[in-house]
Chain A
């Protein structure tokens, strides 16, 4: 399974690099307003075709671009009950701190676990290639973290059961 990881991440990286070409664009609908067009979606000509990159049914990335903003949604692999709750807890934890994270969206898009929103203002303040690096790093680390936490819960269960039962 891990043989598909590198091509998957490479595809995501290249799509992101292409989509992250953003420029400032004031709202066409409301005077003096500047909104991320990918969120507002009022003018169809400003939106690019959304691209979904799937590793398998459960793991995929949706990249929606527009002229001044980019939305990336990630669906994380959750094989069983405990992974589901761990993922849910972790994503909720981070989304509550979305302000600190700048590029994180407070609510994930329907059908995905976490979403990022990058606007032209972010790309003006940060290096574009480093932002892409961050997203890819995030995707790699999440899977690692999930499996480590699951392992921790399982080993704690095993040790506490062992300690208890061996005293009988």
Chain B
């Protein structure tokens, strides 16, 4: 699998199980699952108030406050409307399903539940895409600290939307491999004219972030995506959001895969070398000798 999935399989599978169970008329069972997703996001599947006929899905994002500034609440309301309930304590958004009154379009609802995280992110992008579609300049830049040391900046201009990811490479080798990947991303436009422009800056923030107090360091990289009207148009919008919001995880996932592959190659090669070296040992000669009276003994 080259691309990361944007929906959460675990949620989808658990809900499918519960819904099918209820539809078949079986007695509902209790559920209490805590799931972790990328970027420190936690989900909690439970029965609110111990009522087994109701299933609640809660999501907690450390950076929800940043998202709320850009209209996350409205978007969640729009998408999940009737299923929204008061957020569970310690979580930011909760949606609940009544197993006794299953919604008619079960599969669609399950899919939407799996996209909770994506929908939380979507609000920022949609707001800035709107700015660009109306050909306005956004006055403020959106700053989302979606991970411990990593931030995402979104800004809209008349003819483009710029999304800048700051990412930290924990390992020095990661920096080198990361650079190889970013080089290929930069050249992607040559092959695919429809792709957005990608720029990469190592150690220092790019021009757009010059006067902000954006982090500087040896192991910090800034990835800039320039999205053009064809990416921000209402028709292409959802697709663009799906692809962009997991970019950082996508990059680091592939860097780790490369390292794992290199490691397995090294292991194979090393055992290869050992085999060749062992050829240098002479085989132990087993000589059996017999004495005149018939006694045999082995010589090594």
Q: Chain A residues in contact with chain B, CB under 8 A?
A: 81-82, 84-86, 89-90, 93-94, 97, 100-103, 125-127, 130-131, 133-134, 137-138, 141, 145, 148-149, 152-154, 156-168
Residue B91 at the A interface, CB < 8 A? no
- In the complex, A166 Cα to B176 Cα: how many Å? 24
Residues of A within 8 A of B269 (CB): 90, 141, 145
B280 interface neighbour in A94, A127, A153, Cβ under 8 Å: A127
Contact B181 A157 (CB under 8 A): yes
From known contacts A161-B184, A165-B192, infer whether A153 and B177 are also in contact, taking CB-CB under 8 Å: yes
When the two chains form the complex, which single residue of B172, B177, B236, B266 contacts A82, counting CB atoms closer than 8 Å? B177
| Closest Cβ–Cβ distance, residue A83 to chain B (whole Å) | 10
**Cα distance, A101 to B3, chains bound together (Å):** 40
Q: Is the CB of A100 within 8 A of B274?
A: yes
Question: What are 19 A-B pairs at a CB distance below 8 A?
Answer: A89-B266, A93-B263, A93-B270, A94-B273, A97-B270, A100-B274, A126-B281, A130-B280, A134-B273, A137-B276, A152-B258, A153-B177, A156-B258, A157-B184, A161-B184, A161-B188, A163-B3, A164-B3, A168-B231
Assess the B243–A164 pair: CB atoms within 8 A: yes
Q: How large is the interface on B (under 10, 10 to 19, 20 to 34, 35 or more residues)?
A: 35 or more
- Asked whether B277 lies within 8 Å of A163 as measured between CB atoms, the reply is no
Beyond A153-B262, A163-B3, 8 additional contacts (C-beta under 8 Å) are: A81-B176, A85-B172, A93-B267, A126-B282, A133-B280, A137-B276, A164-B185, A165-B191
The CA of A167 and the CA of B3, in the complex, are separated in Å by 10
- Contact status B185-A168, CB under 8 Å: no
| Contact of A156 with B243 in the complex, beta carbons under 8 Å | no
Which residues of chain B come closer than 8 Å to A137, judged between CB atoms?
273, 276
Which B residues from 115 to 151 make CB contacts under 8 A with A?
A: none
- By secondary structure, the A interface counts as helix
Q: Is B195 an interface residue (CB 8 A)?
A: yes
Encode B151-192 as 1/0 by CB contact (under 8 A) with A.
000000000000000000000110011011101110111011
Q: Which of A133, A137, A160 has the most CB of B within 10 A?
A: A160
B205 at the interface (CB under 8 A from A): no
Query: Do A154 and B180 have beta carbons less than 8 Å apart?
Result: yes
The residues of A that contact B273 with a CB separation of less than 8 Å are 94, 101, 134, 137-138, 141
The reply to whether B280 and A86 form a contact with Cβ atoms under 8 Å apart is no
Residues of chain A with a CB closer than 8 A to B239's CB: 167-168
Determine the chain A residues whose CB is within 8 A of the CB of B78 once the complex forms.
none
> Is A149 a contact of B277 with CB atoms below 8 Å?
no
Contacts of B38 in A (CB 8 A): none
A157 and B280 alpha carbons, distance in the complex (Å): 40
0/1 string, B209-242, CB within 8 A of A gives 1: 0000000000000000000000100001001100
Instruction: Find chain B residues with CB under 8 A from A154 CB.
Output: 180, 184
Nearest residue (CB) in B for A158 is B184
How far apart are the CA atoms of A167 and B250 in the complex, in Å? Answer: 14
Q: B282 contacts A127, CB within 8 Å?
A: yes
Q: Which residues of B contact A127 (CB under 8 A)?
A: 280-282
Residues A134 and B277 in contact in the complex (CB < 8 Å), given A82-B177, A160-B254: yes
Which A residues are CB-close (under 8 A) to B257? 156
Q: Are B279 and A161 in contact (CB under 8 A)?
A: no
- Contact check, A94 vs B270: say whether CB atoms are below 8 A apart: yes
Q: Which residues of A contact B3 (CB under 8 A)?
A: 163-164, 167
Tell me the complex Cα distance, A81–B202, Å.
14
B247 partner residues in chain A, CB cutoff 8 A = 164
Residues of B within 8 Å of A103, CB to CB, are: 277
* B24 at the binding interface (Cβ < 8 Å): no
- Docked Cα-Cα span, A89 to B267, in Å, equals 11
Instruction: Write out, one digit per residue, whether chain B residues 252-275 have a CB within 8 A of any chain A CB (1) or not (0).
Output: 001001100111011101101110
Shortest Cβ distance from residue A98 to the other chain B in the assembled complex, whole angstroms: 11
Given contact pairs A141-B269, A167-B239, A162 touches B191 in the complex (Cβ within 8 A): yes
Q: How far is the CB of B21 from chain A (nearest CB, A)?
A: 36
